Amino acid sequence: MAHDALHIVFNLHAGFLQSYEVDECKRVLRSYWLVYDTDEDVDFICRGYEDLSEEARVGVDAAALEEYRESIEMLLRIASNYVAAPLRHLPTDIDAAEATFAAFRDGIATRLVHTQPSRVRRVLDMLEEFDFSYEFGFPGYRTMYDLRGRVQYIIPDLGWAQGELHGDDYVGEWLSETMLRLRRNN
């Protein structure tokens, strides 16, 4: 009877751990892409900053601060534990916003490293399932393109996976090469 009780507890505990791992991967990826998009937006807002007048720079700083604040507010909702407690508030100036954002970037980078094996496993499962579907007919280009986008979303920390394609004909080859590369490295 005690053996059965322990078995139930361990199975239940394993289910919670697996669920936590999946949730953490989702949180990390949402956070990563939010930071990525915000960095792109801020870079766009701040282009040519050095050539601007002092008055124009104040306006650019205000726009960048607003962009950072919006993203930090979302990050605090989905991943507040990624930064130290003193940084868990909305910044009031551009320097504080950049410091908070840098702390989030570091926290996300650390978690990307820790979740990479499970994310790579997930991508391999997706690609192997896709490879299996070849038996039932050649998948359409849109299906392959969507799968490529999903793979790039899940493993943003693998730089080689983020490369651009130079033609529509290469998506199938990219998927095959990605699967081989991930299998080789795991």
- Burial class from Cβ neighbours inside 10 Å (0-12, 13-18, 19+) for residue 48 reads exposed
Confidence of residue 21 (pLDDT cuts 50, 70, 90): confident
Overall average pLDDT of the 30-39 stretch: 94
Spatial separation of the C-alpha atoms in residues 165 and 174, rounded to whole Å? 8
Nearest 5°: the CA angle 169, 117, 151 is 25
**pLDDT above 90 for 42:** yes
Give dist(CA 89, CA 77) in Å, integer.
11
Q: How many residues does the chain have?
A: 186
How far apart are the C-alpha atoms of 31 and 71, rounded to whole Å? 9
Taking CA atoms, 89 is separated from 11, 77, 81, 85, in Å, by 38, 11, 12, 9
pLDDT higher than 60, residue 17? no
Q: State the pLDDT confidence band at 45, using cuts at 50, 70 and 90.
A: very high
140 backbone dihedrals φ, ψ, rounded to 5°: -70, 160
- Compare 186 and 102 and report the one with higher pLDDT: 102
pLDDT score of 131: 64
Whether 140 shows a pLDDT value over 70: the answer reads yes
CA 102/CA 35 separation, integer angstroms: 10
Q: State the average pLDDT for the chain.
A: 83
The distance of Cα 150 from the centroid of its chain, to the nearest Å, equals 11
